Amino acid sequence: MSVMAFSQMMGNLKNVESNLELARTKYSAEGASRVGGSVAMTGAAINSFTLSSIWESADACFAARGTVLADPEMRAAITASEGQPLGFMIGDLKTELGHCEGTYAVAVGATTTDHSDDAVAAVAGHYERLFVANGVNGVRTVRLNAAGEFTGAYANIFYTDTLDAYFNGSAAAWGDTDFLATSAKIGATIVDRTISRMV
């Protein structure tokens, strides 16, 4: 199973595009299958930058992280941007639906009491039917294994080119009896929602 990591920092965003390209080059060379960046538009950490990456294993992720963060070019870019780390999270990538890129990413944190594969598959089916069908590009679900107070929770990341598509999907979900029944059955509770623009 692949893992997905999230490195969050605060700093000067003037060079965020070029810094992302540098990070993408460095991490891809170390084995990342996908590297993306986003800037928070809502929430307590508004204007923070999150670098997300996908790896074949946690060991591969942490080995690459050590290498890249020791790289002089990467260190210089972080220093020039006055980058201050806010946190690092990693978890198992449970599902990927559709095309997981877009103008925006809506990250919805949720807890459940049922962590079975059947529960994950049931929720994924609803996301496909209610969100992707309403214009959301794609969805990733990550079970966070080491994420501070969010450890054990799920990060459901909706990628979209229009926020209305996400909110239309959300309205459809909360009006859908099958979705509500599944949510009740697995003890799902939303604990956080952040809208970010993709870089």
Cα 133 to chain centroid distance, Å, stands at 20
Q: What is the pLDDT of residue 123?
A: 98
**Measured between alpha carbons, how far is 7 from 52 in angstroms, rounded to an integer?**
6
The SS3 assignment for 121 reads helix
pLDDT tens profile 88-145:
999 999 999 999 999 999 999 999 999 999 999 999 999 999 999 999 999 999 999 9
What whole-number distance in Å separates Cα of residue 88 and Cα of residue 116?
Answer: 25
Per residue in 43-62, pLDDT (tens digit) is 999 999 999 999 999 999 99
Q: Cβ-count burial of 119 within 10 angstroms (0-12 exposed, 13-18 middle, 19+ buried)?
A: middle
Over residues 3-23, mean pLDDT: 98
Return the DSSP state at 96: E
Domains of the chain: 3-90 (3.30.70.100), 93-198 (3.30.70.100)
In angstroms, the CA 89 to CA 59 distance is: 14
pLDDT single digits (tens) 61-78: 999 999 999 999 999 999
